[in-house]
Amino acid sequence: MYMIACFITVDDLMSEAFEVQLSSSLLRTCLSARTLLLFAQGKDTFRFLREPPSSECSSPEQCRIRPARILSFSLARKRISPLAYFPPPLWTELLNQHFCPSCLTEARREYEDSRRRVWDQLPEIFGLPSWDELKAARDADLAGRD
């Protein structure tokens, strides 16, 4: 459902020619989740771009200005991917060039923390029980197969 909510266009989801036909209930869940994932991306995934420079920053003026450029670039991509918005190649190509080493370390830590926060929210975003309840149901299902 995460992949559908993030990467399939609404036009494709609504098309009768699309290879996967979702029930109206599942379609509603995915479209609602898409909005919530977009909010989570803005609030959590991009949070490291709003943080002040590290207390050990070696170039405070640049580390204060450059994240705004990255945020502008990111918004122009029009991509929903709160769990993997900045994959390793993008860190190397884009973000490593825009932060001093201290700020880069803090930015990466904050980005990884934000991914965990989004992960923790996923069941609620998709209208599902908590991760603990889902894991217990999975374990019970697996135990029943023996």
Binding site for Zn ion (CB under 5 A): 53, 57, 63, 100, 103
Output the six-digit token pair for 36.
Answer: 């919530």
**Identity of the residue, 40 or 103, whose beta carbon is nearer to Zn ion in the bound complex:** 103
**Identity of the residue, 22 or 100, whose beta carbon is nearer to Zn ion in the bound complex:** 100
**Identity of the residue, 33 or 107, whose beta carbon is nearer to Zn ion in the bound complex:** 107
Beta carbon of residue 106, minimum distance to Zn ion (angstroms, whole number): 8
The rounded distance, in Å, linking the Cα atoms of 34 and 126 is 9
At 126, phi and psi to the nearest 5?
-100, 15
Beta carbon of residue 71, minimum distance to Zn ion (angstroms, whole number): 16
Q: Is the dihedral of CA 71, 72, 74, 80 positive or negative?
A: positive
**Identity of the residue, 69 or 77, whose beta carbon is nearer to Zn ion in the bound complex:** 69
The rounded distance, in Å, linking the Cα atoms of 115 and 111 is 6
Beta carbon of residue 108, minimum distance to Zn ion (angstroms, whole number): 13
Beta carbon of residue 107, minimum distance to Zn ion (angstroms, whole number): 9
